[in-house]
Amino acid sequence: MTGRESGLVPLIRTEASEARAIARRLGSRGKMEQGPVLDIVGEILDAVRSGGDEALLRYTAWFDRVALQPSDLRVTEAEIRAARAALSPDMEAILSEAASNILRFHEAQRLPDLDLPATGAPPGDPSRIGLRTMPLERVGVYVPGGTAPLPSSVLMNVLPARAAGVPRIVMATPPRADGSVDPLILAAADIAGVTEIYRVGGAQAIAALAYGTAAVPAVDKICGPGNIYVNTAKRLVYGIVDIDLFAGPSEILVLADDTANPEYVAADMISQAEHDRLASAVLVTDSLPLALAVGDALERQMARMPRREILEASLRDYGALLVVPDLAQAAVFADAIAPEHLELVVRDPDALLPALRRAGAIFVGPYSPEPLGDYFAGPNHVLPTSGTARFFSPLSTADFQKRTSLIRYTREALMACARQVAAFADAEGLRGHAEAIRIRFPESGPQSADAALPAGEARP
């Protein structure tokens, strides 16, 4: 690998064979030593599980500097109505239209029931096998606090659950310094269809949603972004409840050729790099002139950004302008990275799409920028990060549905396969399984496999 600095962002000429080493470095972002975090989060989970609301209030006073009473934990309908009324008409329309787009996309994803004739049943027999699909009963959505409200996270986590038909959607979000909840978050929750909201944040909120307290109901699944303490808490309660994804820092990879507009590419890289210092923004291209032009555009555009300090750290440590010999090798590199967001800005994107199998979301063409997916287009912005797009998918309606197998055999259908089932059970040494079949056909049940053993030998 050879390289030189083009301003702040490294410009690297590389072969695709080196992609995996670069991918490993990017995938290690945020993998800090978690021993102390695990200890702290484990203590919080145990305290809330045993202490309930009292522990919640204690941690809220400690971490959020807000003194609440148990009756304060649930946000009132009056607060929610006031927040909705305070929205400007324009913002109300934007949130409502975005919610409509997201809901429409996710309603189309509902899993159907499955109903098939039972294999091996006699002709005309009514025996059936299938799957019954049902929504989860209670889902918890965590929405972080911080310096900026995230109504998009509300919409993207709540609306798939609503599309699935989940009847009870519970939201937890930290209180502000005065004990209130950000009105934009409350308004988005009301538009999305949240059924109840609690002013509690951090790992203690995850504990409350997992175990339940007198005030906060236990749920079946927890989704939503958060800091390392929230994400660690979600990992630790997984198994008691389901969770969405193991989230890591945000990332974007722009795969571009000489037709790409360098100003657009730079702006899209900045849109992800501004998230935090661990965010990654990478250009991979077969055009050295494009890479140089994007480097220059990044410098110019960053100069007018309010989060410039974060941008500089992110692009310096986890940004790159990678020049490869051709687009085929660029695609190999992109698949090795398995990015959360992949922008495809090339002359013939459809020719390259079949080679791109590992990405959370693919944005095709110069007028499909990543923020379009963050807020408005409809597909979910909760995506796999840190290379997990190799095996994880975007959050979807199916994540809020569960399926139960249905097996409905008649006596005749069971008799048609009774010998095979009993023999299978005998082969595994599970006599009780075999007898549960044979007992139904005492007059003509299949002979035990033990009968075929030499005298004196017993099946283990």
Q: pLDDT tens digit string along 358-379? A: 999 999 999 999 999 999 999 9
Judged on CB neighbours under 10 Å (0-12, 13-18, 19+), 350 is: exposed
Q: Report pLDDT for 8.
A: 73
**In the predicted structure, residue 89 carries a pLDDT above the cut 90:** yes
Q: Report pLDDT for 179.
A: 94
Query: What SS3 state is found at 139?
Result: strand
Sheet holding 128-135, edge to edge: 114-117, 128-135, 401-408
Q: Report pLDDT for 453.
A: 37
Instruction: Provide CATH 3.40.50.1980 ranges for the chain.
Output: 2-30+248-378, 35-243
Q: Report pLDDT for 449.
A: 43
CB-CB contact of 343 with 253 (8 Å): yes
As a whole number, mean pLDDT of residues 293-308 equals 94
**In the predicted structure, residue 445 carries a pLDDT above the cut 50:** no
Q: Report pLDDT for 276.
A: 87
CB atoms within 10 A of CB 357: 12
Distance spanning both ends of the chain, measured CA to CA: 60
Nearest partner of 23 among 443, 457, 335, judged by Cα = 335
Q: Does domain 2-30+248-378 have CATH number 3.90.1150.10?
A: no
Q: What is the largest CA-CA distance in the chain?
A: 89
| Cα dihedral sign, 348-379-175-220 | negative
Q: What pTM, to 2 d.p., does this model score?
A: 0.90
Question: Mind telling me the catalytic residues?
Answer: 340-341
**In the predicted structure, residue 3 carries a pLDDT above the cut 50:** no
Q: Report pLDDT for 15.
A: 63
CB atoms within 10 A of CB 195: 16
Confidence class for position 6, pLDDT limits 50, 70, 90: very low
As a whole number, mean pLDDT of residues 287-304 equals 95
What CATH number should be reported for the domain whose range is 35-243? 3.40.50.1980
Task: Give me the phi and psi of 282, to 5 degrees please.
Answer: -130, 135
